[in-house]
């Protein structure tokens, strides 16, 4: 029986069309049904046209394409579900960055953790729970792949509150591995690694080229090549002092700890001149969002009408679906799952990012063991703040949200408890219409 893959939030056009392209490179999916769903009919129309271009260019005559604003219609009969949604849009997202900045917490991206990531999570959890509860009811055997941030908190809540088989995927693990391989001149097919931690704060516990430890080569490159050092200053500083390389970009990691953004001189020294999301710039993602908001139709037209490249990309989703309900080829990847004895020195039940094996049996996480003690200190702080935020979101307990923000490393390095309390209250007020769970609790 032909497979069906549903895209919830298909208006994320570039991602949708690239993943559809990847799926259709697998013979097992060339007669599948692609169901595109978005609540924005205009963006949905762009996505449909882009996918039609791929189907035509590849002469995939047996592929069926559906586009709908009905989630139930899209999910009916689905074997796989991909979720990429944004709750609230950039107008409300501005508050996540601009209110902390007023209090002195200088945020660069703010979609993962810290005060901005936590409030983004609070807004996003209710619709994500609705989606996964629909999956439970309509297509309970489907594999759900989440690409929506904040990844760790969402996956943790969805995996504890629903029976949907859901994991979260992030580009950073494979992207950073390719970057490191490039720095030392290693072909990726000769590189192996073990990566574990939490989303955006996972570390390569080993990184090998032809079976030999490649970390000495990476250290030499970072220390001796100014261009390489300057490409990722924050992450390279972390590597030089922590001895392991972290997965996510300098812009993100500059906000996840207390070392780089608590003073203007530190931002100037370590953040301002790096690459990727202009890491030194306060609210860089907001400026990107403004450009998208003002020019999205032109950008959509350009993306939709761009020449069709049918070559498979490096995104993991198509390989996972192929392993689970395609031709059955096993596929290992890093996914976001609850910690059931997978990382020994991170909180049990928290969301961790570890190797996972996709097969006909579904998704099987792999035990990693312990993180090095000094990495566990850093990662535990973030993981426990995320646990508090999840508990607060599910119970409607504002006090737990306050505590989750209060122990965020960057926030606590900059503000007093009273200032944090005032900031959190202001953020709640700015998000009032998006947070019904704080009236009576999300599960009440």
CA–CA separation, 69 and 72 (whole Å) = 9
- Mean pLDDT for 391-395 is 96
Residues 200 and 163 in one domain: no
* 233 three-state secondary structure: helix
For residue 70, the Cα-to-chain-centroid distance in whole angstroms is 25
CA–CA separation, 137 and 120 (whole Å) = 26
Bigger pLDDT: 89 vs 431: 431
Bigger pLDDT: 224 vs 284: 224
Instruction: Please report the pLDDT score of residue 156 as a whole number.
Output: 98
Residues 149 and 192 in one domain: no
Residues 132 and 275 in one domain: no
User: In the listed set 126, 149, 169, which residue is the last one of a domain according to the structure?
Assistant: 169
- Mean pLDDT for 186-194 is 97
Task: Please report whether residue 74 resides in a domain.
Answer: yes
On whether the pTM is more than 0.85, the answer is yes
pLDDT in tens, 138-176: 999 999 999 999 999 999 999 999 999 999 998 899 999
Split at pLDDT 50, 70, 90, the class of 404 is very high
Task: Please report whether residue 443 resides in a domain.
Answer: no
Binding-site entries for substrate: 149
Q: What is the chain's Cα-based Rg? A: 21
User: In the listed set 126, 146, 169, which residue is the last one of a domain according to the structure?
Assistant: 169
Task: Please report whether residue 68 resides in a domain.
Answer: yes
Q: What is the DSSP string of 15-80?
A: HHHHHHHHHHTSGGGTT-EEEEE-S-HHHHHHHHHHHHHHHHHHT-TT-EEEEES-HHHHHTT-SE
Residues 338 and 395 in one domain: yes
What phi and psi values does residue 372 have, to the nearest 5 degrees?
-50, 145
52: buried, middle or exposed (CB in 10 Å: 19+, 13-18, 0-12)? middle
Binding-site entries: 149, 170, 200
Task: Please report whether residue 288 resides in a domain.
Answer: no
Residues 248 and 331 in one domain: yes
Can you give the CATH number for the domain in which 64 is found?
Answer: 3.40.50.720
Instruction: Please report the pLDDT score of residue 139 as a whole number.
Output: 98
Lowest mean pLDDT among 16-30, 84-98, 232-246: 84-98
- Does residue 342 have a pLDDT over 70? yes
CA–CA separation, 25 and 89 (whole Å) = 33
Instruction: Please report the pLDDT score of residue 443 as a whole number.
Output: 47
Split at pLDDT 50, 70, 90, the class of 250 is very high
Instruction: Please report the pLDDT score of residue 290 as a whole number.
Output: 66
Residues 144 and 239 in one domain: no
Residues 125 and 105 in one domain: no
Residues 89 and 102 in one domain: no
Domain count, the chain: 2
- Does residue 301 have a pLDDT over 90? no
Determine contact, residues 442/126, Cβ cutoff 8 Å.
yes
* 8 three-state secondary structure: strand
Split at pLDDT 50, 70, 90, the class of 281 is low
272: containing domain: 95-113+170-282+316-438
Residues 344 and 268 in one domain: yes
User: In the listed set 169, 187, 214, which residue is the last one of a domain according to the structure?
Assistant: 169
Task: Please report whether residue 311 resides in a domain.
Answer: no
Residues 163 and 198 in one domain: no
- Does residue 441 have a pLDDT over 60? no
How crowded is residue 130: how many other Cβ atoms within 10 Å of its Cβ? Answer: 11
- Mean pLDDT for 399-410 is 98
Can you give the CATH number for the domain in which 253 is found?
Answer: 3.90.110.10
Task: Please report whether residue 338 resides in a domain.
Answer: yes
Residues 73 and 205 in one domain: no
Determine contact, residues 371/345, Cβ cutoff 8 Å.
yes
- Mean pLDDT for 180-209 is 98
- Does residue 35 have a pLDDT over 50? yes
- Does residue 223 have a pLDDT over 80? yes
Determine contact, residues 356/166, Cβ cutoff 8 Å.
no
What phi and psi values does residue 199 have, to the nearest 5 degrees?
-55, 130
- Does residue 181 have a pLDDT over 90? yes
Instruction: Please report the pLDDT score of residue 86 as a whole number.
Output: 83
Instruction: Please report the pLDDT score of residue 265 as a whole number.
Output: 95
Instruction: Please report the pLDDT score of residue 103 as a whole number.
Output: 97
Residues 264 and 377 in one domain: yes
Instruction: Please report the pLDDT score of residue 437 as a whole number.
Output: 75
- Mean pLDDT for 120-137 is 97
Task: Please report whether residue 366 resides in a domain.
Answer: yes
* 167 three-state secondary structure: strand
Q: What percent of the chain has pLDDT over 70?
A: 92
Instruction: Please report the pLDDT score of residue 62 as a whole number.
Output: 97
**Cβ within 8 Å of residue 263, ≥6 positions away:** none
Task: Please report whether residue 295 resides in a domain.
Answer: no
Split at pLDDT 50, 70, 90, the class of 444 is very low
Residues with catalytic function: 171
């Amino acid at each position: 029986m032909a497979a069906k893959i549903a895209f919830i939030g298909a208006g994320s056009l570039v991602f949708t069309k690239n993943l559809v392209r990847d799926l259709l490179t697998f013979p097992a999916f060339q007669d599948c049904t692609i169901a595109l769903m978005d609540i924005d009919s205009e963006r949905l129309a762009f996505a449909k046209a882009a996918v039609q271009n791929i189907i035509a260019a590849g002469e995939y005559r047996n592929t069926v394409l559906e586009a709908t604003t009905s989630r139930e219609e899209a999910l009916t009969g689905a074997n796989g579900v991909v979720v990429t949604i944004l709750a609230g849009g950039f107008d409300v997202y501005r508050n996540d960055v601009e209110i902390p900045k007023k209090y002195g917490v200088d945020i660069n991206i703010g979609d993962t953790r810290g005060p901005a990531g936590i409030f983004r999570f609070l807004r996003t959890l209710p619709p994500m729970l609705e989606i996964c509860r629909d999956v439970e009811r309509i297509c309970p055997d489907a594999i759900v792949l989440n690409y929506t941030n904040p990844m760790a908190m969402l996956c943790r809540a969805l995996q504890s509150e629903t029976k949907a088989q859901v994991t979260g995927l992030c580009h950073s693990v494979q992207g950073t591995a390719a970057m490191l391989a490039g720095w030392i001149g290693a072909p990726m097919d000769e590189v192996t690694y073990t990566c574990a931690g939490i989303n955006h704060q996972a570390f390569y516990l080993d990184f090998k080229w032809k079976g030999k430890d490649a970390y000495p080569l990476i250290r030499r490159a970072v220390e001796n090549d100014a261009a390489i050092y300057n490409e990722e200053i924050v992450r390279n500083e972390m590597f030089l002092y922590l001895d392991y390389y972290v997965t996510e970009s300098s812009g993100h990691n500059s906000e996840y700890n207390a070392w780089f953004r608590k003073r203007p001189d530190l931002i100037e020294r370590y953040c301002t001149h790096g690459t990727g999301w202009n890491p030194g710039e306060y609210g860089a993602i907001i400026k990107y969002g403004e450009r998208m908001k003002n020019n999205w139709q032109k950008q959509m037209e350009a993306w939709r009408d761009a020449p069709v490249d049918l070559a498979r990309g490096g995104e993991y989703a198509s390989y996972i679906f192929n392993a689970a309900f395609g031709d059955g080829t096993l596929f290992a990847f890093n996914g976001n799952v609850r910690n059931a004895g997978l990382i020994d020195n991170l909180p049990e039940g928290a969301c961790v990012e570890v190797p996972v094996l996709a097969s006909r049996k579904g998704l099987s996480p792999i035990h990693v063991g312990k993180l090095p003690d000094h990495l566990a200190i850093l990662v535990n702080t973030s993981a426990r703040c995320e646990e508090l935020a999840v508990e607060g979101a599910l119970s409607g307990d504002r006090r737990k949200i306050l505590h989750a923000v209060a122990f965020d490393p960057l926030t606590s390095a900059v503000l007093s408890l009273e200032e944090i309390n005032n900031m959190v209250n202001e953020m709640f007020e700015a998000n009032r219409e998006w947070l019904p769970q704080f009236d009576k609790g999300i599960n009440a």
